Copies of this chain bind each other. A is one copy, B any other.
């Protein structure tokens, strides 16, 4: 979509400096800027680069309020957020591909909302409910009784097991598996063989959750696995049975969370972290990349950074690393 800079400023609630008559059509980085693109700058040096670029307009923070050069500038309180919203506006709504593709298999008892789109070769099971405007990609398999809210985007080849509940505005990237059986077995002491423990619980994703490509989230064994509203999970993450994740949590790629652990609101988890079973991570904790949290451990403290395996508060980890480095150097000199 094309908008004038003035229209864009108004739409995102920014203050326009300079001429707003030019038209912009999309966002870009300063390197790839052209007269049709809007860029953003978070610091004065980046702002200088941005106004020197070919960009049609620059979004910047309050520091740019005195700018009086020739480039149209949009001053926003939260400039990165303003840029994100501007780009989203310019992109317009995703194309409403519309309707059920002839090759999709939709069970007669499934209830589709208005303007739902079901892609080629998708399969929608018995009793499924899908909210308005939700887009289901090619090759997606949705099991019986699944409930999906409105305005979701489900990318190709996602698999959702029977009974899973998905809120509104949820994004599932390609290859995501929701509601698979948890890894629970009982060993028969007489035969020495594992038998499956029942994995008959549920999985619920609340509103505004986004799940990265090829991530797997297991259903509860008896109770529920829950992903709270606004939580964002990256690619190739594993969430085991009966895990409870709060709201506005961010979990980076390849992290694994074992059974029955809970993660409270606004926790941030780095990549490749491992959280064992029955762990409790309290509100606002930050867990560093590759950290390992042992079974039943409790981590607490808003903004407190834990790192290492076993995970401890960051200053202690750094002190231990420095101590060991010093001792090893000393030994090398002996």
**Chain B: minimal CB distance from A294 (Å):** 8
| Interface membership of A165, Cβ < 8 A | no
Given contacts A200-B26, A274-B271, A290-B292, contact A214 B177 (CB under 8 A): yes
B327-A186 in contact (CB<8A): no
- The reply on A51 being an interface residue by CB < 8 A is no
Q: How long is the Cα–Cα vector from A200 to B27 in the complex, in angstroms?
A: 8
Q: Are A156's CB and B180's CB within 8 A? A: no
A277 to B87, CA, bound (A): 23
- Taking CB atoms, residues of chain B closer than 8 Å to A28 are 222
Give 15 pairs: A residue, B residue, CB < 8 Å, sorted on A: A29-B223, A80-B186, A81-B188, A81-B195, A91-B200, A105-B138, A159-B175, A173-B181, A177-B235, A183-B212, A236-B236, A236-B238, A253-B258, A258-B271, A323-B328
Expressed in whole angstroms, the Cα–Cα distance for A195 and B250 within the complex equals 12
Q: Is A63 an interface residue (CB 8 A)?
A: no
**How many angstroms between the C-alpha atoms of A29 and B322 in the bound complex?**
48
Residues of chain B lying within 8 A (CB to CB) of residue A141: 137-139, 156-157, 174
How many angstroms from the CA of A208 to the CA of B212 in the assembled complex?
A: 27
Tell me the bound Cα distance from A310 to B248 in angstroms.
28
Stretch in A2-10, A16-24, A67-75, A117-125 touching the partner: A117-125
Tell me the smallest distance from the CB of A320 to a CB of chain B, in Å.
4
Say yes or no: A235-B186 contact (C-beta < 8 A), given A195-B84, A256-B271. Answer: no
Separation of A103 and B104 alpha carbons in the complex (Å):
10
A139 touches B155 (CB 8 A): no
Given contacts A174-B177, A212-B216, A232-B194, contact A156 B123 (CB under 8 A): yes
Task: Give Cα A177 to B157, complex, Å.
Answer: 10
Pairwise interchain contact A319-B290, C-beta atoms closer than 8 A: no
Min CB–CB distance A184 → chain B (angstroms): 9
* Residues of the B chain whose Cβ atoms lie less than 8 Å from the Cβ of A326: 331
Number of identical monomers bound together in the oligomeric complex:
3
Using Cβ atoms and an 8 Å threshold, which residues of chain B touch A216?
175, 212-214, 235-236, 253
Interface string of A19-56 (1 = CB under 8 A from B): 00000001111011000000000000000000000000
Q: List chain B residues, Cβ under 8 A from A119.
A: 123
Question: Is A325 located at the chain interface by the 8 A CB criterion?
Answer: yes
Contact B183 A235 (CB under 8 A): yes
Cβ–Cβ contact B316 & A290, under 8 A: no
Instruction: Select which of B248, B250, B332 is within 8 A of A192 by beta carbon.
Output: B248
- Given A252-B258, A274-B290, do A197 and B84 touch, yes or no (CB 8 Å)? yes
Tell me the smallest distance from the CB of A233 to a CB of chain B, in Å: 9
Complex CA–CA separation, A289 to B258 (angstroms): 10
Contact A183 B232 (CB under 8 A): yes
